[in-house]
Amino acid sequence: MTPPARSFDLLVAGDAVPDVIVGDVAGELTFGQAETLVEHGTLTVGGSSAIMACGAARLGLRVAFVGVLGDDAAGRFMLDELTARGVDVSACVVLAGRATGLTVHLVRPGAARDRAMLTSLGCVGELTAEMVRDALARSGEGDASARPIGHLHVGSFYLLPKLAPDLADLFAEVRRVGGTTSLDTQGDWQGLWQGGLHEALRETDVFLPNRDEARAVAANLGAAPVGASGAPVGASGAPDGAPGATDETLLSALAALGPLPVVKCGAEGAVSLDRTALVRAGALPAAPVDTIGAGDSFDAGFVYGRLQGWSVLRSLALATACGSLSTRAAGGVAAQPTLDEALAAAPPAGT
């Protein structure tokens, strides 16, 4: 018997804010009402969660998004842009009299394309577990035979103070009805890595940090890997006199918290575990316009692969291709690849 279809493959919950990208910014900024001219300025889709949703839709998944926006020009811009990219926004909450968040990226010249970010959160943090539950319920409306949504992804954990404490329960509910979950915390601006993260990771199928975030989580949640001296390796690197932890050690420490860890390593690609074996995929050679949203496009690629039933290794190769290709244009969404583009470019993957 053929199982009933789902209305959506993926629900993404979290932050959706316009990104204003300005570059190249050479030297230090000068205050005192001094004007500095730069070469480029871009207004585009921003927010880790929103960029991930767009990347997943670009790959061909049926994607819905839930977040909180203000009833203002910035909010309408985000809803229009997400819709134009094939993301269903019917579950989004629009608050009258509140401002939509906004991020300004100041991009440095040079191969690393380093940047500073200035963010006004607006009403991003008003997202609650009940709003996400409502979005999950909407996924089958109008189709009595529809199955629950296949996967719930949450981004920017530490920008969501009303959702974060309830995320473990929410993820557990999704898993009980046969769905899967993923989490990309992004950074913790307070540097504490608490606020319910330990509990949430127990109910997370796939955890998608970058290497610095992975080290910080392992150190602060009591699963810190150790260096050769036996001393813990903390968020900022190895203890005095000890080399840094190996990728195997770091991944094992994160896996002990509950999820499958998938660690993004920038130009080095990414690493994960297939059961207990380390698997690795290299990034594509690139001269990035900027790296904004590359990790979120990576997330979309990895989740796509897992929803197709692919191995960790094959999913990792697709994810690194998606992340690398997204750097071809300014911002997080303009150069996100189609599935065919990503598969054609996917790097060799090996252990």
Which of 50, 15, 24 lies closest to 159, judged by CA? 15
Q: What count of residues does the chain have?
A: 351
pLDDT the model gives residue 240: 29
Q: How many Å apart are CA 157 and CA 223, to the nearest integer?
A: 19
pLDDT the model gives residue 148: 62
Tokens matching residue 220 = 């602060």
- What percentage of residues in the chain have a pLDDT greater than 70? 87
pLDDT the model gives residue 349: 63
- Number of H helices and E strands in the chain, helices first, is 10, 16
The H or E element spanning position 225 is none
The segments of the chain whose pLDDT lies below 50 read: 1-4, 142-145, 226-244, 351
Q: How many Å apart are CA 155 and CA 286, to the nearest integer?
A: 25
**Sign of the four-CA dihedral 11, 45, 114, 158:** negative
pLDDT the model gives residue 222: 75
pLDDT the model gives residue 5: 52
Residue type, position 72, single letter: D
Q: Which residues pair with 115 in a beta bridge?
A: 107
pLDDT the model gives residue 228: 33
Q: Are residues 245 and 227 in contact, defined by beta-carbon separation less than 8 angstroms?
A: yes
Alpha helices by DSSP H, 142-183? 167-176
Residue type, position 83, single letter: T
How many CA atoms are closer than 13 Å to the CA of 306, on its beta-carbon side?
Answer: 25
Per-residue pLDDT tens over the stretch 207-218: 999 999 999 999
